[in-house]
Structure 1
Amino acid sequence: MERYELIRSRRKTLALEITGDGRVLVRSPMRCSQARIDAFVTAHAAWIEEHLALQRRRAADRPPAPTAAQIEAMKAKAREVLPPKIAYWSQRMGVRPTGFKVTTARKRYGSCSGKDSLCFSCFLMACPEEAIELVVVHELCHIREKNHGPGFYALLERWLPDWRERKGSLSMD
């Protein structure tokens, strides 16, 4: 039987999860017996092995994490490349962001706060020029439309009619 981490909570069912780093998590109701949990894991052994193998393949295909120096270089490039793009598109779209920040976010390339401050991941600098421009325009659209409703997409379509094609060149590794 595969080693696993057990997480008990106020749930009603047993569940399995394989994390991105290859750990096996079993989520269990508080009063579930250890014998029932072990039987559940044993019954799903093939599924666990299949998904652990998939995670190992994904890990092998993933490029190595950037060094601190590489991250600093990407941040410096972002501070150089993004302000002119933000200024150009802000003026063209008639919006005014209240601030600009570069982070090391791994899950999203950009965000716009409720107070219209823009935030961009330094990892955006690894994307093609047209994708960088898409993220800038996308976040500037959020100054007018705070959600991803029809009004937001109409605004994005107005400024970047090819946004769908550009979106294809975005990837978070």
Structure 2
Amino acid sequence: MKPEYTLIRSSRKTLSLEITRDAAVVVRAPMRCPQREIDLFVAQREGWIRSALERQRSRIEQHPEPSDAQREQLIRRAKEILPERVAHYAGLMELHPTGITITGAVSRFGSCSPKNRLCFSWRLMQYPMRAVDYVVVHELAHIRHKNHGRDFYALVQSILPDYRERWQMLKD
């Protein structure tokens, strides 16, 4: 059975395939790309699409969108817990963030601005504290290393030797 998809044409030069957060298939194509080429592109990736949709549906099932009351509770917990965790690890790492913001970001748990301001999504509070600490240390490490290079991960590992296991908690 051919997967259903939404087609978006634009001035791009290549075909691409995306599984969205709500488990929909999106194909992006150049304006003049023939429909038969697009259909072939999708057909050749049918197995990958099927498994990716299954994984995404499983994620949605495991992490449903919280109710308003649950969201407020998660925001409260984030405001209470994250500044403490940042202060703890910032002291260990001898780093100084310029501030902390709690956001509702859906696609990332944390970020570090060029001015060393840390942002964390309240959605992170749905995960075990070991995973929360990993995100805190990860974002703090960006104060010193603005990339994901060897030195960045060496710093993360010096604080959390089991960081790979903690990172995996966020993926599962």
TM range (shorter): 0.7 to 0.9
Where does the alignment leave 5 or more consecutive residues of structure 1 unmatched? none
Matched letter for residue 37 of structure 1: Q
Distance 1:61 1:148 in 2: 25
Change beyond 3 A, Cα 1:41–1:67: same
Match of 1:55 among 53, 76, 101: 53
Deviation string for 1:70-91 (max 9, x for gaps)? 1111011011111111111112
Distance 2:44 2:145 in 1: 47
Change beyond 3 A, Cα 1:141–1:31: closer
Matched letter for residue 111 of structure 1: S
Tell me by how many angstroms 1:59 deviates: 3.2
Tell me by how many angstroms 1:138 deviates: 1.2
Change beyond 3 A, Cα 1:108–1:5: closer
Greater displacement, 55-64 / 153-162: 55-64
* 2:130 alignment counterpart: 130
Distance 2:164 2:3 in 1: 43
Change beyond 3 A, Cα 1:98–1:42: closer
Tell me by how many angstroms 1:9 deviates: 3.0
Contact 1:112 1:142 (8 Å CA) reproduced = yes
Corresponding pairs, count = 168
Distance 2:73 2:81 in 1: 12
Tell me by how many angstroms 1:162 deviates: 1.6
Change beyond 3 A, Cα 1:146–1:26: closer
Give the TM-score normalised by structure 2. Answer: 0.76
Distance 2:48 2:8 in 1: 22
Q: CA RMSD in A?
A: 3.1
Give the TM-score normalised by structure 1. Answer: 0.76
* 2:112 alignment counterpart: 112
Matched letter for residue 134 of structure 1: Y
Contact 1:22 1:52 (8 Å CA) reproduced = no
* 1:9 alignment counterpart: 10
Deviation string for 1:115-161 (max 9, x for gaps)? 01011111111111111111111111111111111111111121111
Contact 1:112 1:118 (8 Å CA) reproduced = yes
Contact 2:16 2:29 (8 Å CA) reproduced = no
Deviation string for 1:9-43 (max 9, x for gaps)? 33456x474643465555444345xxx42585389
Structure 1 residue ranges, 4+ long, deviating more than 2 angstroms after superposition: 1-13, 15-32, 38-64
Distance 2:158 2:47 in 1: 48
Residue 41 (1) aligns with residue 39 (2): yes
Change beyond 3 A, Cα 1:49–1:79: same
Matched letter for residue 53 of structure 2: Q
| Percentage of pairs with the same residue | 43
Larger Rg computed on CA atoms: 1
Where does the alignment leave 5 or more consecutive residues of structure 2 unmatched? none
